[in-house]
Amino acid sequence: MKKFTVTFISILLINVTALSTSSNLPNLGDEHEQTPVPAIVIQEEVEVPEDPQWTYKFLIPTSVAIATLVILGNIVQYFRQVTKKRYKVIKK
């Protein structure tokens, strides 16, 4: 138990002395706040927005319009043929 107490007190004294010496150091934060001027100033390039390719302008909207017309035409044809076969006119 004596060894433990002596070891604990010695570690405590070492920590106290280490903490007290770090507070005596000069303030290093002031040097980092003053940033030096760079020798070469690099300017960032301004990105120019590119025009979309012609496929996005013309081909894709045209193909969507054609696909829509084909689907609508198939729907109309289906209902014309189904109703034509479903109902028969009977003459008396």
Residue 81 lies in a domain: yes
- Which H or E run contains 6? helix 2-23
Domain count across the chain: 1
Measure Cα distances from 18 to 8, 10, 15, 25, 86 in Å.
15, 12, 5, 12, 99
> What pLDDT, on a 0 to 100 scale, did the predictor assign at position 75?
94
Does residue 69 lie in a domain region? Answer: yes
More confident residue, 1 or 25: 1
Is residue 27 scored above 60 in pLDDT? Answer: no
Question: pLDDT-derived band of residue 6, with 50, 70 and 90 as boundaries?
Answer: confident
For residue 83, is it within any domain?
A: yes
DSSP string, 48-81: PPPPPPHIIIIIHHHHHHHHHHHHHHHHHHHHHH
Structural domain including 62 reads 53-87
